């Protein structure tokens, strides 16, 4: 790897490329083929002025979207390495990005250490909406499956739901007993359940509509740093600072 501290990685839609980066400030793309050693074919696509915290391919292998500690997001052309679009609006580190689920995929959300979540138009580079309400860094953002809302997870120990059409916060997921920050959020396929990974080694499972906690997942022995629901919705995978990945059916 180009850096020993990798903060983000992503598969290309075709499954033929992997992008990664971190404290090297770069996003590097590796082609995946059985014949060649990927190291020989790796290519630096883009460079930020601070660490790269998150990356994704927006619906094609040709472009990659990154978020950075330099408070910007950027859209890069994979082949040429050209900066196609720059997104300025956060006043602190960008920690997380997510693409809107619509097939066209022209909007995305970013969340950061300025405690705000921003909705962007990828074609123009313009900020479309801004959502405030958290009392600390936003570590994770995720679109609701319909694309009409976003969930956020924050160091303030809460998750929140913001409705894009209402242009406001519509739900807070919290309990007095929860005092540790949220590192990652994801929805069930239907959107009825919100999974959140915390610094107290647990995953809280929330009812999105009722704002009540359904259950907790115990097992990790350090903070839960990332989580993702499987595409078919039958399982969830969690990653932790305890050096394990766990799959929960």
Q: Which pLDDT score is estimated for 59? A: 87
For the chain, residues with pLDDT lower than 50 are: none
| Other Cβ atoms within 10 Å of 123 Cβ, number | 12
Q: Which pLDDT score is estimated for 38? A: 67
Nearest by Cα to 229 from 192, 186, 196: 186
DSSP-derived secondary structure letter, 181: P
Q: How far apart are CA 128 and CA 182, in angstroms?
A: 25
Which residues are CB-neighbours of 118 under 8 A, at least 6 positions away?
Answer: 89, 90, 109, 110, 111, 127, 129, 130, 131
Rounding to the nearest 10 degrees, give the CA dihedral for residues 140, 238, 198, 11: -20
Q: Six-digit token pair at 216?
A: 């907790």
Q: Which pLDDT score is estimated for 41? A: 85
């Amino acid at each position: 790897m180009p850096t020993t501290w990798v903060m983000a990685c992503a598969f290309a839609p075709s499954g033929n490329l992997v992008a990664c980066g971190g404290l090297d400030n770069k996003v590097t793309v590796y082609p995946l083929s059985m014949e060649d050693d990927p190291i020989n074919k790796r290519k630096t696509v883009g460079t930020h002025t601070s660490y790269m915290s998150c990356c994704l391919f927006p619906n094609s292998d040709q472009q990659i979207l990154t978020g950075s500690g330099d408070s910007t997001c950027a859209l890069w052309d994979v082949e040429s390495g050209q900066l196609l679009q720059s997104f300025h609006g956060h006043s602190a580190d960008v920690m997380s990005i997510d693409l809107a689920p619509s097939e066209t995929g022209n909007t995305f959300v970013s969340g950061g250490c300025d405690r705000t979540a921003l909705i962007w138009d990828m074609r123009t580079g313009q900020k479309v909406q801004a959502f405030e309400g958290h009392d600390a860094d936003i570590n994770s953002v995720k679109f609701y499956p319909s694309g009409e809302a976003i969930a956020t997870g924050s160091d303030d120990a809460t998750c929140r739901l913001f409705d894009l059409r209402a242009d406001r916060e519509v739900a807070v997921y919290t309990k007095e007993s929860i005092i540790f920050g949220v590192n990652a959020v994801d929805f069930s396929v239907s959107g009825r359940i919100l999974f959140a990974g915390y610094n107290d080694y647990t995953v809280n499972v929330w009812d999105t509509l009722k704002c009540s906690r359904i259950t907790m997942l115990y097992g990790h022995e350090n903070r839960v740093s990332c989580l993702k629901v499987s595409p078919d919705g039958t399982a969830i995978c969690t990653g932790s600072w305890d050096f394990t990945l766990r799959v929960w059916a």
